[in-house]
Amino acid sequence: MAKPPQLNVEKLFDGSYNSDKTVQIHISKNKDKYYRGFTVNNNAALVKKVTQLFKKDTDRAETSQDIIKDGGPSYSYMVIKNNNHDINIGIQYYSNSSCYLFINGSSEAFK
């Protein structure tokens, strides 16, 4: 039986940031693909929270990769399997106060 992935990073899309002026949320879904994006600008505390949620999900990752630049990660990526489908999650850091997180995969991975 298919089950939802219950990712920690999905908590960012629970509606609590919809009115936050430092956040932009992007959601796209059709019968075959699922995509969510979460952009943070000028909010170091929120970037820290996004990073913490991302790191919690790495325990479930099939694969993960960090690109290190200037002493810290500039990009991190992982693949999590759910319902025999891949979920791709990545985070791009622009500074300690700005980042972009995405989650994507086939719709079957999120059922």
**In angstroms, rounded to a whole number, what is the distance separating the alpha carbons of residues 51 and 54?**
5
Q: What percent of the chain clears pLDDT 90, i.e. is strictly above it?
A: 77
Tens of pLDDT, residue by residue over 21-46, are 999 999 998 888 999 999 999 999 99
Is the confidence at residue 57, as pLDDT, over 70? yes
Band of pLDDT at residue 3, cut at 50, 70 and 90? low
> CB–CB of 40/21 below 8 Å?
no
pLDDT score, position 54 = 97
Q: What is the pLDDT of residue 1?
A: 44
Could you tell me if residue 96 is inside a domain? Answer: yes
Asked whether residue 88 is domain-assigned, the answer is yes
Q: What mean pLDDT, rounded, does the chain reach?
A: 92
On whether the CB atoms of residues 67 and 75 are closer than 8 A, the answer is: yes
> Is 16 strand, coil or helix?
coil
The per-residue pLDDT for 75 is 95
Residue 2 pLDDT exceeds 90: no
89, pLDDT greater than 80: yes
Residue 83 lies in a domain: yes
Per the domain annotation, does 2 fall within a domain?
A: no
Give the C-alpha separation, 84 to 97, whole Å.
35
Q: How many domains does the chain have?
A: 1
| pLDDT tens for each residue of 15-24 | 999 999 999 9
By residue range, what is the domain housing residue 89? Answer: 8-110
Q: What integer is the mean pLDDT of 92-110? A: 93
Residue 22 lies in a domain: yes
**φ, ψ for residue 11 (rounded to 5)?**
-60, -25
Q: List the beta bridge partners of residue 75.
A: 67, 92
**Surface-to-core class of residue 66, CB atoms within 10 Å of its CB (0-12 exposed, 13-18 middle, 19+ buried):** middle
Q: How far apart are the C-alpha atoms of 46 and 111, rounded to whole Å?
A: 28
